Amino acid sequence: MTDLLTDHAFQDTYPEELSHCYGCGSSNPHGLHLRSTWDGDETVATFTPQPYHTALPGFVYGGLIASLIDCHGTGSASAAAYRAEGRAPGSDPALRFVTASLHVDFLRPTPLGPPLTVRGRIEEVKERKVVVSLSVAAGDQICATGRVVAVRLPASMAPPPPA
Ligand SMILES: CCCCCCCCCCCC(=O)SCCNC(=O)CCNC(=O)[C@H](O)C(C)(C)COP(=O)(O)OP(=O)(O)OC[C@H]1O[C@@H](n2cnc3c(N)ncnc32)[C@H](O)[C@@H]1OP(=O)(O)O
């Protein structure tokens, strides 16, 4: 289901208790298993939609595109926060982010079939907030753009540490 762009995706560094996300959690058997990495100063992930990701025949469901933007955005936010601190992704103390705001613009129909490339550009890094601009492309055509405001994981959402 997922195109493995690299063996060292940001999501590979998520601890087990944070690996259940539908979009990017490696421990979710029903999830998308999105995997993101750096490409210079940008972040990138690829994903090949399946026939059951249909909106209208031949075109990708917009909610899936929003999910790709969401999870690539939060993964990019975490990676950017680590990079800003000069630390290896996943090192302690962990820098975990959730989505505060998700904005998506569907610029043209997204063809169902080819792999999609999701790219992120880091716009702002603060201690508790990272803003990421994103695009989703089929081949050289950008089909959607987006913006994610990611905020550090609040205590109310933090899973208990493993026993
Ligand atoms: C390594 C392991 C990784 C592991 C990570 C694995 C998890 C994968 C996550 C997948 C993504 C998801 O689906 S996460 C699930 C969906 N998201 C949620 O359920 C989040 C629910 N919302 C919340 O809990 C809260 O609203 C927060 C945490 C998002 C914000 O808390 P808060 O306490 O209100 O934050 P606050 O201090 O006011 O704001 C902090 C900064 O963010 C800005 N901000 C806050 N909300 C918004 C907003 N809606 N739109 C724009 N900007 C906003 C503020 O202006 C401020 O910017 P400034 O003034 O500083 O400039």
Q: Which domains does the chain have, with CATH numbers?
A: 10-157 (3.10.129.10)
Q: Is the distance from the beta carbon of residue 129 to the nearest atom of ligand 1 less than 6 Å?
A: yes
The protein residue with its alpha carbon nearest to ligand 1, atom 46, reads 100
Residue-wise pLDDT for 34-73, tens only, equals: 999 999 999 999 999 999 999 999 999 999 999 999 999 9
Element (H, E) at 104: strand 97-106
Whether the model pTM is above 0.90: yes
Looking at residue 57, its pLDDT comes to 98
- CA neighbor of 97 nearest in space, from 121, 125, 123, 118: 125
How many Cβ atoms from other residues are within 10 Å of residue 133's Cβ?
19
Q: Is the distance from the beta carbon of residue 83 to the nearest atom of ligand 1 less than 6 Å?
A: no
Lookup: tokens for 137: 């492309």
Lookup: tokens for 1: 């289901």
Q: What letter would DSSP give residue 99? A: E
Residues of the chain with pLDDT under 50: 1-6
Looking at residue 153, its pLDDT comes to 94
Rounded to 5 degrees, what angle do the CA atoms 35, 15, 136 make? 20
Looking at residue 137, its pLDDT comes to 98
54 by Cβ neighbours in 10 Å (0-12 / 13-18 / 19+) ranks as: middle
Looking at residue 159, its pLDDT comes to 85
The protein residue with its alpha carbon nearest to ligand 1, atom 25, reads 100
Ligand 1, closest atom to CA 21? 8
The protein residue with its alpha carbon nearest to ligand 1, atom 53, reads 100
Looking at residue 7, its pLDDT comes to 53
- Coil, strand or helix: which one is 41? coil
**Measured between alpha carbons, how far apart are the two ends of the chain, in Å?**
32
Lookup: tokens for 153: 């994981």
Share the mean pLDDT of the chain: 93
CA of 154 from ligand 1 middle (Å) equals: 8
Q: Is the distance from the beta carbon of residue 14 to the nearest atom of ligand 1 less than 6 Å?
A: yes
Q: Is the distance from the beta carbon of residue 9 to the nearest atom of ligand 1 less than 6 Å?
A: no
